[in-house]
């Protein structure tokens, strides 16, 4: 998910009562909720599609979720001591207890992969023990309805806190509403995946039910058929078998890239990340690889890789 969502989740957890446990609990929760995204620094040293093979991996796995909160807790604890020595520590701050501070940072960090798992991009939850990708297919990566629930919950909680009223209740209700919203979306995805959008034969070999922005109740249907062609439709009930959905671009037969990926780091990174790879004919007759989840010819450097030495071969007839 986006970092605003991660930050709001940390904030609502704090407003639900966790910030009363120890001093600096709120920054531990909010920063901790964003901490696994330190892997975004890979854009500094990686090029092209190589970031796809690095993101949502090692910093989102079990060892990092234990060690990153420890580093954060240590820095916040040192900051509190530094302010005390300078005489600038706020008098209203609760005593900082390192063990509880670590627990808050740990809870914040755990919320991060839980949210990231919910979209179609995927996450390697077990890295470095396993590089398997996991996909929740439940929420779009930026969900404005989730924003609204979280923002209202935090705002109401803060408003009641300033008024001296019970400020934890709105945050706790908000957390329940968020969990209900996520559960409802999981049900919508499951139902769409079970019915395949009520499509008729021939049924697809692979199928992805992808949440779309704004209209949380709808799913983009992404299907691959036995001839290798990927089809997409943004409306449920599309008849894939009779070609009423949209074929993604001018597709080619998927080439055998076993040898090529051993020497081409861009290709290897793309194929390691890709869940729905397909080949498209370039203007010169060569091949460009895309992923059906993120097909956008304008984003060539980010979610695709060009193979100028590979000739496009026609797909077999449906």
pLDDT tens-digit series, residues 119-164: 999 999 999 999 999 999 999 999 999 999 999 999 999 999 999 9
- Longest CA–CA span in the chain (Å) reads 77
pLDDT value at position 199? 60
In a shared domain, residues 171 and 261: no
Task: Report the number of distinct structural domains present in the chain.
Answer: 2
The answer to whether residue 245 is domain-embedded is yes
Residues 256 and 178 in one domain: no
Claim to verify: residue 231 and residue 141 sit in the same structural domain:
no
For residue 64, pLDDT over 50 is answered with: yes
Q: Which domain holds residue 302?
A: 199-318
pLDDT at 204: 74
| Residues 247, 179 share a domain | no
Residues 40 and 174 in one domain: yes
How many angstroms separate the first and last alpha carbons of the chain? 37
Taking the CA atoms of 193, 195, 198 and 203 in sequence, report the sign of the dihedral they define: positive
Upstream peptide bond of 251 is cis (omega within 30 degrees of 0)? no
For residues 211 and 166, membership in a common domain is answered with: no
The reply to whether 233 and 260 lie within a common domain is yes
Specify the pLDDT at position 259: 92
Residue 223 and residue 164 share a domain: no
């Amino acid at each position: 998910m986006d970092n605003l969502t991660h930050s709001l989740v940390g904030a609502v957890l704090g407003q639900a009562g966790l910030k009363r446990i120890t001093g600096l609990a709120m920054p531990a929760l909010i920063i901790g909720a964003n901490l696994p995204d330190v892997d975004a620094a890979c854009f500094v040293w990686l090029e092209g599609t190589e970031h796809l093979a690095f993101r949502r991996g090692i910093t989102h796995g079990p060892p990092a979720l234990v060690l990153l909160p420890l580093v954060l807790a240590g820095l916040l604890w040192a900051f509190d001591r530094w302010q005390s020595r300078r005489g600038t520590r706020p008098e209203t701050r609760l005593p900082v207890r390192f063990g509880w501070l670590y627990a808050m940072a740990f809870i914040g960090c755990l919320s991060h992969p839980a949210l990231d798992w919910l979209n179609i991009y995927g996450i390697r939850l077990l890295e470095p023990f396993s590089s398997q990708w996991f996909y929740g297919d439940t929420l779009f990566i930026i969900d404005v309805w989730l924003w609204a629930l979280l923002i209202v919950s935090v705002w109401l909680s803060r408003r009641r806190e300033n008024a001296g009223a019970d400020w934890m209740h709105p945050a706790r209700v908000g957390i329940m509403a968020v969990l209900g919203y996520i559960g409802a979306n999981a049900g919508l995805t499951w139902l769409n995946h079970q019915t395949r959008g009520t499509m008729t034969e021939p049924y697809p070999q692979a199928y992805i039910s992808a949440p779309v922005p704004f209209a949380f109740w709808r799913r983009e249907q992404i299907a691959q058929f036995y001839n290798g062609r990927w089809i997409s439709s943004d409306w449920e009930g599309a008849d894939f078998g009779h070609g009423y959905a949209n074929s993604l671009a001018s597709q080619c037969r998927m080439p055998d890239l076993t040898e090529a990926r051993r020497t081409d780091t861009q290709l290897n990174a793309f194929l390691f990340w890709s869940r729905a790879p397909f080949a498209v004919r370039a203007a010169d007759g060569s091949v460009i690889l895309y992923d059906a989840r993120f097909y956008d010819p304008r984003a060539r450097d980010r979610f695709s890789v060009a193979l100028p030495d590979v000739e496009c071969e026609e797909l077999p007839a449906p």
